[in-house]
Structure 1
Amino acid sequence: MPFEEVVGRRDVLRLCGGAGLLPIAGCSGTATDPSFAVPSAALTDEPITVELDGLDPRTPVTVRASAASRDGTRWVARAHFETDGDGSLSVPEQAPERGTYATADPMGLFWSMRPADATPGNRLPPEVLFVPDETAYDVTLSAEANGRTVAESTTTRRLYDPRIEHRTVGHDAVVGEFFAPPGDAPAPAVVHLHGAGGRPHVPTGRLLASRGIATLTLRYFGDPEPIPDTLAEVPVEYVETAIEWLRGRERVRGPNVGLFGFSRGGALALLAATRSDAIGAVVGWVPSGVVWEGLGYGRVPAGTSAWSVDGEPVPFLELADADVGPPPTPSLPFFEPTLSAAGEDELAAATIPVEEAETPILLVSATDDRRWPSTALSERAIDRLEANEYRHEYRHESHAGAGHYLRFPYLPTAGTERDVRHVYGGGAEANARAAADAWAETVAFLADALGGAVE
């Protein structure tokens, strides 16, 4: 990346004893002093190489990582290794003998961090989640051997490129935030559609723009006008209006734009794609190929469809009547019984006619999704594409053991299984791997389908 300073092992050794880019402990001007080789900064979605040099051969060493959450809580991870025959260690290539993660993983020390005061192996309280500062956070790496710290370095994880452009959309008919890549050249573009939480995914828009994809993070229900107050009979035409607004920007390279939807937004993306020929790609994360009942105030069943077309509710499946107890709770019991009991005609009417789209489609699901059965709901869409011999590219990536809460790659995933209100499913490692794979696949898919290059 243009703003990154990726420094190799020899460069690090050369910088010891001088004014270098990396803060390194143990540099005394000799190549035998222990030292880290690590980039000084990288985007949060970029895996980095962490290497350690200058120790004796076959030396036990503990590598620790620590970072501060936005609330000041210190998060930590550790891994125990043994150096190789020349006294060096490459973290990506070596499985730790023990630690907070188990297999060879270049980013294991990053996603496996937990609060420093957490009891190892125990579930965190539901209110605990690593929330970084808005722009970036620092991760400090330290190496311990023979009972003392022998090397230390800090690497910055940027949430986005600070050179991206941002503007709040002031159009009377569109509510959202627009982000464009650095520079002034037109770029491929997407509309990002949030889930039932009702707020635009601004961090997603920033990171996509950092990767060369202009993004409108659209809000389609809640305040302010003209959008509906609740997730009930949201006009699909509103997405079409947003597409046209985006296509009219000087920073957008057309003629087509993509749709990228999360959860309920994934269903909306698929539905909108059946109506517009201005869509060049569709990505749905933990989406549904079936239309469901909407949600009213307090997120109670709305008694009508989540979506409307031409002022009429789109045919839908009702949410089941379920007693899930006090929060945090899963919401699967509201979906699975109805899906199992629905008659063939009822299910067919509520299924999105995805074969009517004219664009490549990528769906990403999680097999331990506790919010709704995203794998089964995605397979419903894929089955329909296959049955109709869909002529465009389509894929479904199902992530084993992962839950509904997919966030940016390599952020600590402890706490992503649930929060104070909801159970999302999955586990720390499965969620970390799903997030990394899904994001990389999505960015590459969008860039390829829309004719752009990943920065």
Structure 2
Amino acid sequence: MVVGPAFDRRACLRAVGSLGLASLSGCAAGGPDPGPDSDPALSVPALSVPSAALTDEPVRVVAENLEPGAPVTLRATARSRDGAEWVSRAAFEADEDGVLAVPERTPLGGTYDRADAMGPFWSMRPADAPDGPLPPGARFTPPEGAYDVTLAVERGGETLAEATTTRLLFEPEIESHSLGVGLVGRFFVPPGDDSVPAVVHLHGAGGRPHLATGRLLASRGIATLTLQYFGAPDPIPDTLAEVPVEYVERAISWLLERDRVAGPTVGLFGFSRGGSLALLAASRSDAVGAVVGWVPSGLVWEGLGHGRAPAGTSAWSVGGDPVPYLELAEADPGPPPTPALPYYEPALAGATDAELDAAAIAVEEADAPVYLVSATDDRRWPSTAFCERARERLDAADYAHEYRHDRHEGAGHYLRLPYLPTPGISRDRYNAYGGTPAANARASASAWSETLAFLRRSLSA
């Protein structure tokens, strides 16, 4: 069964949210109703999947009325923003009742290798590179707003059943606002009029706000200011060098003045270098009620200039003065795609205790719960070692709030929104990030789920 073009994605999303798993025909125009008196002997293979769901929502894919014990292949297909086709495949055998419930079944072969409800989604690869290493720069970038995934059950080259589900990147009714004078970024607000928790999200060394993250957080009930802190015209620096921590504090104050924001505190959520900035700002502000760092460092490092060359000064400043920092090591990482570990690991190993103490972020001076996420195969910097240092400081201080460090084995630096295809994010044309597609998919899904729960819990207290 194929979904026709005439259906209301927003209505489907609301239906999925309230009812859970639904047959695709429930949201499709003109879907047939077999009725209670239909003859089971006349049944044909059918594929059931929600018509629409937010991208962070796992879905249940079930095929029925198959020949018991028959070998079948589940194929998933989507198109990225550039129009390229991405495909996953997984081989199964129908059970004795002729049913294939994807979440409970381990594939016999294919693009993923363990029971996983969302394996068909995150394991998609470019259709023109079904096996082996991907072409440099191959990465699934979803179209704006939503993308369709078509699932098909096949046997011997014949399609037995087919269905399409829409993966929404955000709730269409969220609001988007520009910021006040002196701040760069966007402000995303959940639908409705109720007061809601709020966070400032801080991007990494890429220098661009993570708008998709802000939109999805707002879709999940958390107002989000996606703040750009370097890489644009005044009032922010051109490069990641001596970025004023006071700029984040100004963003916190702006956020607390919004009518929809349920004060008296807001959260800080940072990725990579932005995670370090979140920890640093939280150590200085009583207005922070939760702090999240994805692959951050608990140490202050030298900033980056144009072309990501060492800046010769700290990444951050306070009161116009550079925050004490560790210098990056001199390194020649070789031809791209290159890791950045050679700039950090030797510098960390060669630093004296006094240098480490001076560059350490005083996370224990924050007055908020802390949640840290690291990846053990991080090729940009050793995020697991960095997070452990921060955790040890909290241990030593007998920290009064909840704190936690989740380390994700085999995952790399590039954590992203859940269930988007992960083949290709271990590296791009220029940078190595690390991790395998499966480990990166598991880390992204877990980190996102735990972050949502942590922010809701911490900011509602």
Is TM (by shorter chain) over 0.5? Answer: yes
Matching of residue 72 in structure 1 with residue 72 in structure 2: no
Amino acid at match of 2:290: A
Residue number in structure 1 paired with 2:337 = 328
Identity %: 65
Q: Secondary structure of the equivalent of 1:336?
A: helix
Matching of residue 153 in structure 1 with residue 163 in structure 2: yes
Matching of residue 237 in structure 1 with residue 246 in structure 2: yes
1:54-453 paired onto structure 2 within 5 Å = 54-120=65-131, 122-169=132-179, 171-451=180-460
Summarize the Cα distance change of 1:14–1:285 in structure 2 as closer, same or farther, 3 Å threshold: closer
Displacement after TM superposition at 1:281 (Å): 0.2
- What is the distance in 2 between the residues matched to 1:119 and 1:66? 12
Q: Secondary structure of the equivalent of 2:291?
A: strand
Summarize the Cα distance change of 1:173–1:144 in structure 2 as closer, same or farther, 3 Å threshold: same
Residues 396-424 of structure 1, C-alpha deviation per residue, up to 9 Å, x if partnerless? 00000000000111000010000011100
Residues 403-454 of structure 1, C-alpha deviation per residue, up to 9 Å, x if partnerless? 00001110000100000111000011100000000000001100110118xx
Amino acid at match of 2:205: A
**Alpha carbons 1:5, 1:39 under 8 Å: kept:** no
- What is the distance in 2 between the residues matched to 1:109 and 1:188? 34
Amino acid at match of 2:236: I
Amino acid at match of 1:103: R
Summarize the Cα distance change of 1:218–1:411 in structure 2 as closer, same or farther, 3 Å threshold: same
Residues 49-94 of structure 1, C-alpha deviation per residue, up to 9 Å, x if partnerless? 0001111211111110000011111000011111111111100001
Residues 314-371 of structure 1, C-alpha deviation per residue, up to 9 Å, x if partnerless? 1000000001122211000000001001000110000001110010000000000000
Structure 1 stretches of at least 4 aligned residues deviating more than 6 Å after TM superposition: none
- What is the distance in 1 between the residues matched to 2:28 and 2:244? 63
Deviates more, 1:360-369 or 1:84-93: 84-93
- What is the distance in 2 between the residues matched to 1:375 and 1:113? 28
Deviates more, 1:288-297 or 1:142-151: 142-151
Summarize the Cα distance change of 1:107–1:304 in structure 2 as closer, same or farther, 3 Å threshold: same
Gaps of 5+ in 2: 1-9
Q: Secondary structure of the equivalent of 2:454?
A: helix
Q: CA RMSD in A?
A: 2.1
- What is the distance in 2 between the residues matched to 1:21 and 1:215? 42
TM-score by length of structure 2 reads 0.93
Amino acid at match of 2:93: E
Amino acid at match of 1:44: T
Amino acid at match of 2:261: V
Residue number in structure 2 paired with 1:43 = 54
Displacement after TM superposition at 1:15 (Å): 5.8
Amino acid at match of 1:149: T
Displacement after TM superposition at 1:20 (Å): 3.1
Summarize the Cα distance change of 1:146–1:328 in structure 2 as closer, same or farther, 3 Å threshold: closer
**Alpha carbons 2:24, 2:51 under 8 Å: kept:** no
